[in-house]
Amino acid sequence: QITLKESGPTLVKPTQTLTLTCTFSGFSLNSPGVGVGWIRQPPGKALEWLALSYWDDDKRYSPSLKSRLTITKDTSKNQVDLTLTNMDPVDTATYFCTHRPQSTSYYFDFWGQGTLVTVSS
């Protein structure tokens, strides 16, 4: 049974750096094809894909946020971190951690419950 859970600060100030941790169970990030991704959703708005880390340490980023994003994995701890620099109030959103299955297609079959991050001074 796959589970994912996000953790990190709920409130950050503008210009600060946000670091979120996804702790997962029920799968290995060493398995070929598997990935862990981050997706966010501003209040009342649509989903936005941010980044994904593959089993082989290949990393993909949203082009619009690439300069501010870093994704890292620690397979020994079953964790994936997401760092977003220079936070702005427009970055206020619920951030979801997701599982990308071993597949030739591009989708997310399991999601964490999400964590709301508010950017405010």
- For 41, which DSSP code? E
Among residue numbers 22 through 81, which ones bind other proteins (CB under 8 A)? 37, 39, 46-49, 52, 60, 62-63
Q: ∠ at Cα 14 (9, 20), nearest 5°?
A: 25
Q: DSSP labels for 86-107? A: S--GGG-EEEEEEEE-SSSS--
Q: Among residues 24, 27, 55, 108, which is the contact residue for other proteins, using CB under 8 A?
A: 108
Q: Least distance to other proteins from the beta carbon of 46, Å?
A: 5
Q: Among residues 2, 13, 109, 116, which is the contact residue for other proteins, using CB under 8 A?
A: 109
Q: Least distance to other proteins from the beta carbon of 35, Å?
A: 11
Within 8 A by CB and 6+ apart from 104, the residues are none
Q: Give contact residues for other proteins (rule: CB under 8 A).
A: 37, 39, 46-49, 52, 60, 62-63, 96, 103, 105-114
